[in-house]
Amino acid sequence: MNRQKVSPEEAVKWGESFDKLLSHRDGLEAFTRFLKTEFSEENIEFWKACEDFKKSQEPQQIILKAKAIYEKFIQNDAPQEVNLDFHTKEIITKSITQPTLHSFDAAQSRVYQLMEQDSYTRFLKSDIYLDLIEGRPQRPTNLRRRSRSFTCNEFQDVKSDVAIWL
């Protein structure tokens, strides 16, 4: 009966906080799709890898997963290198021979903040997100409808372009 995977009500909740977005499987999937359009999916891939890593229980698993995360996301010229400061990278590099479940906490926190302050705000304005929350036309929202690049406030400044929309 439900044609859409995600209800608009659920999608609207993702706009309340970055945490709500990431804690919902479909929200995480939509955000990942958005990051791929910006060619910055390494951030969310790293975050997901860290979440998975923290669930590791056996020492051998911890060592293997830590090494895989390090090689994929942290080391210089890693295939999906995340943007970390030298100090944070240095700490991880030193601890990687004897990793703990907390080895990536500081790096994961930095990447989380970067996504929350930067990518998340753009995600909330993206077509991917707007299409989800506009899934049901009878739901009144104060968010813009079809326009992709203007909010109501911006229309006042851009009078010459209004004719395009008529």
Each residue's pLDDT tens digit, 91-105: 999 999 999 999 999
- In this prediction, residue 156 has a pLDDT band, given cuts at 50, 70 and 90, of very low
| Per-position DSSP letters for 8-28, written without gaps between them | HHHHHHHTT-HHHHHHSHHHH
- What percentage of the chain carries pLDDT values higher than 90? 71
Alpha-carbon distances of 117 from 27, 46, 148, rounded to whole Å? 17, 17, 21
Measured CA distances, 110 to 8, 48, 72, 107 (Å)? 30, 14, 17, 5
Report the CATH architecture of 8-133.
Answer: Orthogonal Bundle (1.10)
Q: Is the pLDDT of residue 65 over 60?
A: yes
Is the pLDDT at 10 greater than 80? The verdict is yes
> How many whole angstroms separate alpha carbon 140 and alpha carbon 94?
53
Tell me the per-residue pLDDT of 121-155, one tens digit each, with 9 for 90 and over.
999 999 999 999 987 333 333 333 333 333 344 44
> What predicted TM-score, i.e. pTM, was given to this entire model?
0.76
Q: Give pLDDT, residue 134.
A: 85
